[in-house]
Structure 1
Amino acid sequence: MFKKGLKDVVAVQTNIASVEGEIGELRYRGILIDELIPFHTFEEIAYFIWHGVLPDKSDLKHLEIKLMNGRQLPHHVREILEALPAEIPLMDAMRTAISAFAHASFSNEPIEEQAIILTAALPVIIAIHYRKQNGLPPINPNPNLSHIANYLWMLNGKLPDHLHVEALETYLKLTMEHGLNAATFAARVTISTESDLAAAITSAIGTMKGPLHGGAPSGVIDLLEEIGEQEKIKTVIEEKLQNGKKIMGFGHRIYKTEDPRSILLREKCTSMHGKDEWLDLATVAEKEIIDLLAQHKPDRKLYTNVEYYAAAIMRSIEMPPELFTPTFSVARMIGWTAHTIEQLRDNSIFRPQSEYIGYEKTRRADA
């Protein structure tokens, strides 16, 4: 049976994550995210998604050292980044640099090691090209900083506020993996041909670039900036609702109840109350907006999606919109690599059928 866009067609069996939209549940390796995310670092959750178990102290230290070493890009990758014109968009620079990892010293590593190397390299690639676009010299990695803190350090050249690191890390832990989305599917299709990991991740980045998939939550930032202060929430939202305008950051195509990722982000932002004005505005505005949506659209259950709080966090750390999708990709690299590894363990090349509906040029002579 033909289903446009393969909607609702089961193409993969996976142990990595499950998304239950009807009941608002997201699980990593069978564990609810609210039982994992608040208690473990980015590095620990990455290890868990890759291996299915949490790391012990030795495993974690080993991973942290490998990630730190992976921040040193191969010489030829640095040369490629230097040669790229500054006007090349970030997603294209990422795609080009990642594809260049298909060389002998990388390809001879076990695929699990390759996954760590690409995870470590992507934030460095983003930071180098972003600073180039802004006429700034690259910043060397800081070996004393975590994966996410070092990313902010390399972008801005200053030690990041620990509250901002906490908020961004929570968002990125929650978006590492989300089932068979378009980019993840692209990675699995590529690796199913027994291509290499760099090619699979290049496919994923190319897919993530599309605005229907990796689109930035800039509309939510526009909304929060239009509101500006808590006293204006009701006025701004009621005017939009009366004019039939969409309230950005509310409603999700999969989750029919609250997005479980937005719940945890709300809790993180609430725990920082009084420490960041944008996070405070977002938490107060969310409650008032949901109440107003319930009054104006009682037949629709509209809840906050992950983009709402992602936007609040990005605004609080002053991250420009052109960094939103690249930063999302920093997290999703974990899911992409986990899926490629899983695909190869029980591989079958993807070969769906197509149904021809064009003009029939030839007919049987006796028809």
Structure 2
Amino acid sequence: MSSVADMPPGMVDVQRGLKGVVVAETEIGDVRGAEGFYHYRQYSAVDLAKTRPLEDVWRLLIDGTLPGTPVERTTFSDEVRPLRALPPALASVLPAIARASDPMTGFRTALSFAAAERGCRPVYDLDSSARRADALFIAAVTPTILTALYRLGNGQQPVAPRDDLDYAANYLWMLTGTEPEPRHADAIKHYLISTIDHGFNASTFTARVIASTGADMGACVVGAIGALSGPLHGGAPSRALDLLDEIGTLDHARPIVTNKVLSGERIMGFGHAVYTAEDPRSEMLKEVAQHLGGPLVDLATQVEQTVVAVLADLKPGRHLHANVEFYAGVVMSRCGVPREMFTPTFASSRVIGWTANVIEQARDPKIIRPSARYAGPPAPQPIPLLW
């Protein structure tokens, strides 16, 4: 295996997973893990989730400012609302996609088709206005695609978006076909805003790497979808809820959690790659869940306390807290979102962050092209003779 000393001049050896490596500058937001704080541009993301509709935050990430007047809010909403509708050609192929895949897998195919039908061109060849237009289209049509795939996969017809509903309420409407309860729409709004962006996570970084090649907006987002689909990234909310199902009742919590910790099994919904303090998203969603109430929420709260206590006993010095996925699954379940739609719901908001990052990355003409340290057999070796 090569050593650092063997590396060519100018190369820097870094931690696995690029941990702690700064690869770009961004104005979109930041995660301050030691403080348990993250923000979108200059505003606390949690405060935005508590005080603003999603459309306001969407405008903040794409255009750089919050609406300052009711007219500005209405103008942006009026711009994105028509983009929600499924293009006819896409609508015609969705049944086949739904039959062949689950919603998250089908999303990659469907969004690629949508971008091709729209005629999305490489961001390298576009001006800022055209990049913005593609970004708004991709983000606006995403929830319609996801909910349509889910319903078609369950033998139901897609539900068209409604102009009188905001993003979160419209999402629940298209998913269930029933008028959402205001408290459920508000809870989902909190969740969606809290997950729009979160630093250079795996999917956002993927989108930016693709954007650095000059590829089109659809290609950038489809690559990010692939990264988000992994269980170590966007797939965790349903797995965290699986833990609650396995525990069932509080008296089973300590023995089950203890066994998992002692066997080295990961406790889904706990710990985070960035936060060493408590995850602010988890704290907010815990409040949202407790406002909704119910046996599942009570169990989740008690299990969280048990997990933290067991980890403190068995892993002293390791301060693991509940992350966003733990209470995200609880909130979505209480609001009627089926488990197979947890990650797609995550994706529906994260697309907004991805597209904002693509726009920002497209302004930098430098391609992202790191190096790898070769660790195979010494080269060159003679080619073996044919037998």
TM-score by length of 2: 0.85
Q: Distance in 2 between matches of 1:281 and 1:359?
A: 53
Change (3 A) 1:284 1:6: closer
Do residues 237 (structure 1) and 236 (structure 2) align? no
**Letter of the structure 1 residue corresponding to residue 34 of structure 2:** E
Task: Give the match for residue 311 of structure 1.
Answer: 329
Q: Distance in 1 between matches of 2:350 and 2:175?
A: 19
Task: Give the match for residue 344 of structure 1.
Answer: 362
The count of aligned residue pairs is 358
8 Å Cα contact 1:114-1:197 kept in structure 2:
yes
Unpaired segments ≥5 residues, structure 2: 1-11, 383-387
Task: Give the match for residue 50 of structure 1.
Answer: 62
Q: After the TM superposition, which residues 141-156 of structure 1 pair with which residues of structure 2 at under 5 Å, given as runs?
A: 141-156=161-176
Q: Distance in 1 between matches of 2:180 and 2:164?
A: 12
Q: CA deviation at 1:296?
A: 5.3
Q: CA deviation at 1:286?
A: 3.3
Task: Give the match for residue 168 of structure 1.
Answer: 188
Do residues 62 (structure 1) and 78 (structure 2) align? no
Q: Distance in 2 between matches of 1:326 and 1:65?
A: 25
Q: Distance in 2 between matches of 1:290 and 1:94?
A: 36
Q: Distance in 1 between matches of 2:312 and 2:377?
A: 50
Q: Moved runs in structure 1, 4+ residues, more than 6 A?
A: none
- Could you tell which deviates more after superposition, 13-22 or 65-74? 65-74
8 Å Cα contact 2:107-2:145 kept in structure 1:
yes
Q: After the TM superposition, which residues 86-125 of structure 1 pair with which residues of structure 2 at under 5 Å, given as runs?
A: 86-100=99-113, 101-103=115-117, 107=121, 110-125=130-145
Task: Give the match for residue 328 of structure 1.
Answer: 346
Q: Distance in 2 between matches of 1:84 and 1:296?
A: 47
Task: Give the match for residue 274 of structure 2.
Answer: 254
Matched residue SS, 1:18: strand
8 Å Cα contact 2:285-2:331 kept in structure 1:
no
Do residues 37 (structure 1) and 49 (structure 2) align? yes
Q: CA deviation at 1:312?
A: 0.7
Matched residue SS, 2:116: coil
8 Å Cα contact 1:190-1:199 kept in structure 2:
yes
Q: Distance in 2 between matches of 1:281 and 1:210?
A: 27
Change (3 A) 1:146 1:277: farther
8 Å Cα contact 1:67-1:116 kept in structure 2:
yes
Q: CA deviation at 1:133?
A: 0.9
Change (3 A) 1:124 1:241: closer
Q: CA deviation at 1:241?
A: 4.0
Matched residue SS, 1:12: coil
Task: Give the match for residue 83 of structure 1.
Answer: 96
Q: CA deviation at 1:285?
A: 4.3
- Residue identity over aligned pairs, in percent, reads 39
Unpaired segments ≥5 residues, structure 1: none
8 Å Cα contact 2:49-2:189 kept in structure 1:
no
Change (3 A) 1:242 1:140: closer
Change (3 A) 1:269 1:92: closer
Q: Distance in 1 between matches of 2:239 and 2:102?
A: 20
Q: Distance in 1 between matches of 2:119 and 2:239?
A: 43
Q: Distance in 2 between matches of 1:97 and 1:351?
A: 29
Task: Give the match for residue 268 of structure 1.
Answer: 288
Matched residue SS, 1:60: helix
Q: After the TM superposition, which residues 196-211 of structure 1 pair with which residues of structure 2 at under 5 Å, given as runs?
A: 196-211=216-231
